[in-house]
Structure 1
Amino acid sequence: MKIVVIGGTGLIGSKLVAKLREHGHEAVAASPNTGVNTLTGEGLAEVLRGAQVVVDVSNSPSFEPAAVLAFFETSTRNLLAAEAEAGVGHHVAVSIVGTERLPDNGYFRAKIAQEQLIEKSGIPFSLVHATQFFEFTKGIADEATREDGCAHIAPVQFQPMAGDDVAAAVGRTAVGAPVNGRIEIAGPDRYRMDEFFRQALAGMGDTREVVTDPHARYFGSELEELSLVPLGEAALGEIHYRDWAAR
């Protein structure tokens, strides 16, 4: 099966391409580095020729709200148009658990816009909603660090997962039948977010204090207890944070 992975040279994309190839699929990594640009349309027709499935794990180079919205709307429109022309039968996109629960978060709004375009495209699709990745732990802590030098984290539920587990779940979805809806995936363990970061930073040798702050903002949004975790059934990863960190 020919599967084109948009964003195939990034964190999740590179893992996904490797896993698909291990299982005998023709997995093609598509990104500006390989001559495929979804913003301009460059290389799309060529790379999609003969593809049965497209997986979009691309990301915006800027997280500024207007820029990220423009990225996901433009790239998704171009990609879906090229897929329709090429006769692609399954579009898979990775999104985030809780997008609809944080409407004041510019990045989440952009992901919602992307999903709406996919849902209306007429192309069979699957949306994989993932929780935060272990690989982003330091970046989240950096964003949460205030003028006092402390990371201010809300005491809400948090269920992050390993990038390898994300790639495995997306791969299973890509080779399966389109669900024409969403699948939620999360890590095997649920934590209190402030406690997770207190332990994770200590394990990294990071001496920053983690302040428990119910009003701490997560990339601009104040969180409620269940903002970032699945509300119903979710497929759980197998890699525990302690094992991932030890590696």
Structure 2
Amino acid sequence: MKIAVAGGTGTVGTHVVDVARERGHEVVVLSRSAGVDLVGGTGLSDALAGVDAVVDVASTQTVSAKESTAFFSAVTRNLLAAEIEAGVGHHVALSIVGIDKAPHSYYAGKVEQENIVRSGSVPWTILRATQFHEFAAQIRARASFGPVSIVPKMVSQPIAAREVAERSIDLAEQPATGRVADLGGPREERMADMVRRYARAVGARGVVLEVPVPGAYGRAMRDGTLVPAPDADRGRQSFEEWLDAQSR
């Protein structure tokens, strides 16, 4: 198959590209370095020529609902329009567990993304996954001030980005199936504990402060909204096992 990956240079996207190539697929990475602007839509038509499926794992760093919605609306509409023009037969979108119950901040854009995909004419599959194990390192990097890391009070059931990538390619290899079973990690974790354990694993010193985020967005982080239901699929690698693998 020929598979295009939107967001192919990101945290999960690099794994999606690796998995697809390991399985013998031809991969097109939709990135600015390859002359493709997902937000502006330039370069997409040429990049999607002959593509069988698009896996969209593009993301943006913002906590603004307005900015997130603008980003995901533009990217999704541009992708779908170019897919129709190129005759792409399958659009796979990666989303987040629980966003329909917490359509706030960054999640507002993901909700809009799902709505656009569902209403489009390209056959689609939507996979919702929980936060990645890698999220602990990202939060620490973004919210550290000297020796202090400010971490939101959050309950998650994290999963390795590699496993999300494997499931994404599994789905791209099959016919479009709509909304599939959610995918979460093997156990629940507190984000502050994950950041502390990550810091120890990399030999970093400092203090991790757990702070509740105000409003509905923060409440969803704390009350289990973002944790998958009992009938969701589960990943294999725990956060502790992932940490061990990184140190090796």
Fold conserved (TM > 0.5)?
yes
Does residue 125 of the first structure (1) align with residue 154 of the second (2)?
Answer: no
In structure 2, what is the equivalent of residue 65 of structure 1? 65
Partners of 1:90 and 1:125 within 8 A in 2: yes
Write out aligned runs for 1:10-21 (5 A): 10-21=10-21
Does residue 42 of the first structure (1) align with residue 23 of the second (2)?
Answer: no
2:162 is aligned with what amino acid? D
Write out aligned runs for 1:151-230 (5 A): 151=150, 153-154=152-153, 157-211=155-209, 215-217=212-214, 221-222=218-219, 223-230=221-228
Cα distance change on mapping 1:37 and 1:61 into 2, 3 Å: farther
- Residue 127 of structure 1: SS of its match in structure 2? strand
- Residue 84 of structure 1: SS of its match in structure 2? helix
Deviation at 1:190, TM superposition (A): 2.1
1:60 is aligned with what amino acid? T
User: What is the rounded CA distance, in whole Å, between the counterparts of 2:50 and 2:215 in structure 1?
Assistant: 41
1:24 is aligned with what amino acid? G
Partners of 1:152 and 1:216 within 8 A in 2: no
Question: Unaligned 5+ residue runs, structure 2?
Answer: none
2:40 is aligned with what amino acid? T
Does residue 106 of the first structure (1) align with residue 131 of the second (2)?
Answer: no
Write out aligned runs for 1:75-94 (5 A): 75-94=75-94
In structure 2, what is the equivalent of residue 4 of structure 1? 4
Aligned length: 244
Does residue 138 of the first structure (1) align with residue 137 of the second (2)?
Answer: yes
1:54 is aligned with what amino acid? V
Partners of 1:126 and 1:183 within 8 A in 2: no
Partners of 2:7 and 2:13 within 8 A in 1: yes
- Residue 29 of structure 2: SS of its match in structure 1? strand
Deviation at 1:29, TM superposition (A): 1.0
Tell which deviates more after alignment, 115-124 or 66-75. 66-75
Tell which deviates more after alignment, 110-119 or 87-96. 87-96
Cα distance change on mapping 1:35 and 1:150 into 2, 3 Å: closer
2:227 is aligned with what amino acid? V
User: What is the rounded CA distance, in whole Å, between the counterparts of 1:201 and 1:226 in structure 2?
Assistant: 25
Cα distance change on mapping 1:165 and 1:217 into 2, 3 Å: farther
Cα distance change on mapping 1:227 and 1:201 into 2, 3 Å: farther
Question: Unaligned 5+ residue runs, structure 1?
Answer: none
Deviation at 1:189, TM superposition (A): 2.2
How large is the RMSD of aligned CA atoms in angstroms?
Answer: 2.7
Deviation at 1:94, TM superposition (A): 0.8
2:134 is aligned with what amino acid? E
* TM-score of the aligned structures, taking structure 2 as reference length: 0.86
Partners of 1:13 and 1:167 within 8 A in 2: yes
* TM-score of the aligned structures, taking structure 1 as reference length: 0.86
Cα distance change on mapping 1:201 and 1:22 into 2, 3 Å: same
1:62-118 C-alpha deviation (Å, 9 max, x unpaired): 543322211111111111111112221110011111111223x32100100011000
